[in-house]
Amino acid sequence: MNNMIITLAKGIVGESNVKTDEPMSSHTTFRVGGAADLYITPQNESQLASLIKLFRQFKVEFHVIGNGSNLLVGDRGVRGAVIEIGRNLSSIEVSKNMVTAQSGVLLSRLANSAAGNGLAGLEFASGIPGSFGGAIYMNAGAYGGEMKDIITEVVYLDENCKICTVSGEDCGFGYRKSMFTDSDKIILRGTLRLQTDEIDEIKARMQELTRRRVEKQPVDKASAGSTFKRPEGYYAAALIEESGLKGYSHGGASVSEKHAGFVVNNGNATAEDVRNVIKHVQKTVKEKFGVDLNTEVKFLGEF
């Protein structure tokens, strides 16, 4: 990484918020991955915009992440810069039945905040281990709910770092996708429309969903959540289990014995181990059922 770029980045966010050769295994829920050339934690939206302008001006490759919950980072690391917004861009504002939050806030915190204010509709997301921005990006969903059901507005930086606003209905939400997916737009914050309800009843529903997750999902092991998208007309976990792959392992990674839709790190996996398990599952399911399994997990960096 060019020393001038590092110096300019430090001038924007402060020296303590810029790290070089930072291991990504410390910043992803898979707990694997090599080092990022540059790892930066901006303190606010203005610093974020300034960083992006800098990197685009000097043609430095960069990636914006939240909680690192849907990423598989290669063992050889990430060239360029990783900008992590989960730590600082995480404010929440509540006004009547509307909740506006910055993209870095954890979904669990956002759901608990809504519940504490007697607002229902976000319970489905309370156990998803990602950030609000990531949830909008991929239209995250669980237990019958999706972000598209409650998003009314999203504020983002466009390709020219101009602040733009789009309504929820114009976000292009589909199954695990939105207008932001695979684009150069950077989500800053979003607004939710929720419904009033009794706090105790909302929290009871969240507790029940937590119980169901703990019972059915391998929450005790490092993973990126559900590994595969649901293929049309099928369930990924059922196809994997019927292929005899439950428990299949390569190195320190395996298909979960508890839920076949999850690839997990058993404690000593490499990114290559995880990728090999994913590839084997995809190949076997294709051969047996003729179905393509696409990943929810995003691959980042060099493998």
Active site residues: 176, 226, 296
- Sign of the alpha-carbon torsion through 148, 151, 152, 157: negative
d(CA 148, CA 128): 15
Task: Identify the residue whose tokens are 């669990």.
Answer: 108
Neighbouring residues of 68: CB distance < 8 A, sequence distance ≥ 6? 24, 27, 28, 29, 84, 86
Whether the Cβ atoms of residue 138 and residue 171 lie closer than 8 Å to each other: no
**CA neighbours within 13 Å on the CB side: how many for 90?**
21
Reading the block at residue 173, the tokens are 């939400």
Beta strands 71-73; 298-300: pairing state: parallel
| H or E segment and range at residue 281 | helix 271-289
Whether the Cβ atoms of residue 227 and residue 261 lie closer than 8 Å to each other: yes
Task: Identify the residue whose tokens are 């993209």.
Answer: 103
The residue type of 155 is V
